[in-house]
Structure 1
Amino acid sequence: MDNPNQQGYPLAPATGPRSDEESVTNYRSEQAMKKKKRMKCLAYIAIFAVLQAIIIVVFSVVFLRVKTPKVRLEQVTIANTGNDNIVSFSAGVTVKNTNYGRYKFDSSLATITSQNGVVLGWLAIPEARAGARSTKRILVAGNLTPPAADSNGNLSVSIGANVRGKVELLRIMKRKKSADMFCTMIINLPTNSVKNLVCK
């Protein structure tokens, strides 16, 4: 028979978390993970937006910025025509285009003037195109009527022109750009030579 004084051992308390506490913990953990993923996603989006903005700015500054082409005179030669009042004049005109789009310019006239501002003649510059980041070379020719030279036969002249055109960007955008040419030189009439050619 059982001892009436024998006492039963009490049940040990549950040591593991209750099911509702476990659910709350799991829920919080899942929410934290989701929040962390959202923060990462937002960070990636922000980084992508910043990179896109940088790319657009660099593209605009480098490729869409329009610079004024440079027009210069080179390889000038003169010759007597047999008429003492007329001198044949020829030269190369260079149009340097540093833009990332081609430069299409209209025809223009370069004016040859003496040191005193008297017009001696003209040079016709035909319309043409200078490719992207390239230099267009054109041969021009004309006649000038020289005034009296100094005792050494030297004649100081200047040649100026305004070239107007458009820079085409990406085949869809066109920006108007005018380029000025101003060159000075000394012509020696007895020897048909040119020296001190300077262009600005």
Structure 2
Amino acid sequence: MVEKAQQQGYPLAPANGYSGSDEEAGRSMSDEERRQKRKKWALYIIVFVIFQTGIIVLFNMTVMKFRTPKFRVRSATSSETFDTQPSSFNVMMNT
């Protein structure tokens, strides 16, 4: 049956689905192909880092807005507790 199919000009597909020959499987990649692959991966990594940086900046600008806390002191009086020591001092304030 295989011989008949080959005689009629039909290509035979291997059982595993890979149609490469033994020559192609044994061949190692050339330096140029490796260099191209490395460039492609470096480009993918750079694009991913830029994308993640953009997402982080967008998140920080929309969700995590910087707000200045409002701090108001209406009246302040110092009590009579004012302790001094050689290395520190202690003041009690009522606000």
Considering the TM-score relative to the shorter chain, is it more than 0.5? no
The structure richer in helix per residue is: 2
Q: Report the structure number with the largest CA radius of gyration.
A: 1
Q: Which has a greater percent of strand? A: 1
